[in-house]
Copies of this chain bind each other. A is one copy, B any other.
């Protein structure tokens, strides 16, 4: 896509969905460090998401997490979002924080626990109906910690049955996004541990079931862009949860740990038509020690920069080199795009959108952080526990 105006148009059209929970407190099992000014309600999370959108211009949607974002009136929440130029995005289920779920949720050995978990998933579809969102995002903490603890195969049967029940409930324009994860919190066998398992279930469920690639949910060394290319080829790539990692599911800012990997992923997205297809680009991160709003702005910018570089790849030259077996030449075409400093291009894009060319600086200059911290005194800060 050597046409610069087409590149700019693509960048202006890109939307990155931010997760409500990233605006709240988070941490590790060792400690959650609270931060000043953290929102206390789903409405305040939307306020923060609106701030991010105000400065980036590309984050109109906000993912919800139930029950963390449970409200009386979801239509009102959607209205509140709309007033701020936002829309409610994916509804994320939570079947891992109830005391009943110590040994799993929809894969639990007891039918009563499975029923409870399925009921929650169906509630999430109700919320989709209420908010007008289309994406039901399912991640299951289900798994076992010890060999023999439960029957691996029966857990797959239970999983398939529960997913089928939920799938049957989906409306025509709704879809189920199934996320896999290598490990944590299960430490022996996770019930949806890899893309193959998620893919196999989605295939049986039907076209409304697709796979979520969370960039932090793989075994060491996994070639994530291969998975992306494969799922796009199979028309089963539904969404990304972007974040970055050096070790496990570190949930650092997207693009922070391995920007080259993010570029390679975005290149496969562009090459496989994922930018214009119905793939949702979401963040799923934890800003444990850094300020949350600027961290989210930075993450969005990192995704944009990777996308811009991917769009700048000289596809004709690349194909020519690939077809002729020119290993170094083909690699050089890709690296040429990667090594380009795309920050001026993105600054232009922002200016053309009426935004400040430097979102992080603009945010800092706005004094928003101090203002919010002063306003949000008292109450219970949002976090994973509430």
Contacts and interface: CB of A to CB of B under 8 A. Distances in A.
B219 A152 contact: no
Interface in A206-262: 218-223, 225-227, 229-230, 232-234, 245-248, 250, 252-253, 256-261
Nearest to A338: B259
A102 B271 contact: no
Nearest to A325: B103
Interface string A327-342: 1101111110011110
Contacts of A281: none
Nearest to A250: B187
Contacts of A234: 200
Interface in A15-47: 26-31, 33-34
Q: How many subunits of this chain does the assembly comprise?
A: 4
A199 interface: yes
Contacts of A377: none
A184 B183 CA distance: 15
Contacts of A151: 271, 319, 322
A189 interface: yes
12 contacts: A103-B289, A146-B290, A153-B272, A156-B233, A183-B221, A187-B252, A188-B252, A190-B226, A194-B196, A218-B219, A247-B248, A290-B331
Interface of A: 26-31, 33-34, 96-97, 99, 101-103, 109-110, 141, 145-153, 156-157, 182-185, 187-190, 193-197, 199-200, 203, 218-223, 225-227, 229-230, 232-234, 245-248, 250, 252-253, 256-261, 264, 268, 271-272, 288-291, 294-295, 298, 305, 318-319, 321-325, 327-328, 330-335, 338-341, 343, 360, 384
